[in-house]
Structure 1
């Protein structure tokens, strides 16, 4: 599957719970009503309609829709969608600061995805207001970059930057992407 370029995990048994693609629609609507409709249409074109929040669906479907949108509308739209996802999902009450919310991305990911090779998000704190996130999963790089920024902004008091710093990128055939995250 050319869509995932560098990610090599098999998605044969990978599933996503319905509330995740529902959050992509809501995140699209946060960008604009038009974008929300585009997400809904893309999911439907790939066979995902009338999504039930607690049902499990093949992960290949929403991924195909996201990659289609990335290819048609660009990286900025993917980043904006990813950035808006945290506004449409529930966070456990114990996640109240950037320092524990960023490692919590992987916990949320594994609660909403299942299968033998779904990948991961690994965060390592590198200072009082910075850290490194390694994304080794099948999602578009720019979606992940926006998601990381959105989670950090939800819990930070002010400015957040997310910069790709690794020596490889999934969009260029690498197995993972690495981002430096800084917040004030």
Structure 2
């Protein structure tokens, strides 16, 4: 996690928060209670949290929720949540290869976050607003490999699940390696670097 940043002005899309349920499976009821305790969403008729897909919710609350999920259920649960994101992700054109998809990843990330209800990437102007870090991909033209630097506030385990599932949605043989694990955001580093490789 990026240190000394509260993200109080930044929001995330309700559509993405609703995806968390698919990643947690049988833990969903317990996670729903955590979300409600963090004032994320509203209580539905079934007593579980619900979100308006086009509404914006505080990123700070989302990050607190993920940290509580990590403490209660472990990093495996965070990887499952991250892995569920690419299945339902918006703003990714169809029919592109894995290199092009990773080049688009940072734009997609910013489209799904906002400041005061305004997405942090404008598709009309092409302008991207800083403030939530980046997913910066470095593909190798002659090798089946991409390096991705992550400097955002989401937990490392969450990003590992997201990036591996994202890669496998384009290249089923993809594997992910956390490079320099001693240089990790969980240890106070500013970034994590992941290698995505496929056959």
| TM-score of the two chains, using structure 1 as the length reference | 0.86
Query: Equivalences for 1:100-139 in 2 at 5 Å?
Result: 100-115=100-115, 116-126=130-140, 127-139=142-154
- Deviation of 1:80 after TM superposition, in Å, equals 1.9
Identify if the C-alpha distance between structure 1 residues 128 and 91 changes in structure 2 by more than 3 Å, giving closer, same or farther: farther
Which residue of 2 is the match for residue 163 of structure 1? 177
* Moved segments of 4+, more than 4 Å: none
**Matched residues in 2 for 1:160 and 1:97: separation?**
13
1:24 counterpart = 2:39: no
Identify if the C-alpha distance between structure 1 residues 122 and 58 changes in structure 2 by more than 3 Å, giving closer, same or farther: same
- Deviation of 1:91 after TM superposition, in Å, equals 4.7
Cα deviations by residue, 1:160-183 (Å, 9 ceiling, x for unpaired): 211111462100010111001112
Higher relative contact order at CA 8 Å, sep ≥6: structure 1 or structure 2?
A: 1
Identify if the C-alpha distance between structure 1 residues 154 and 165 changes in structure 2 by more than 3 Å, giving closer, same or farther: same
**Matched residues in 2 for 1:23 and 1:183: separation?**
27
Say if 1:119 and 1:136, in contact at 8 Å, map to a contact too: yes
Cα deviations by residue, 1:127-151 (Å, 9 ceiling, x for unpaired): 4310100000110000001100010
- Deviation of 1:94 after TM superposition, in Å, equals 4.4
Say if 1:95 and 1:104, in contact at 8 Å, map to a contact too: no
Which residue of 1 is the match for residue 166 of structure 2? 151
Which residue of 2 is the match for residue 13 of structure 1? 9
Which residue of 2 is the match for residue 69 of structure 1? 69
1:39 counterpart = 2:37: no
Identify if the C-alpha distance between structure 1 residues 63 and 117 changes in structure 2 by more than 3 Å, giving closer, same or farther: same
**Matched residues in 2 for 1:176 and 1:131: separation?**
16
- Deviation of 1:39 after TM superposition, in Å, equals 3.0
RMSD of equivalent CA atoms: 1.8
Query: Which has the greater radius of gyration?
Result: 2
| Number of matched pairs | 175
Say if 2:6 and 2:60, in contact at 8 Å, map to a contact too: no
Gaps of 5+ in 1: none
Greater share of residues in helix: 1
**Matched residues in 2 for 1:46 and 1:93: separation?**
34
Identify if the C-alpha distance between structure 1 residues 95 and 43 changes in structure 2 by more than 3 Å, giving closer, same or farther: farther
Which residue of 2 is the match for residue 57 of structure 1? 57
| TM-score of the two chains, using structure 2 as the length reference | 0.80
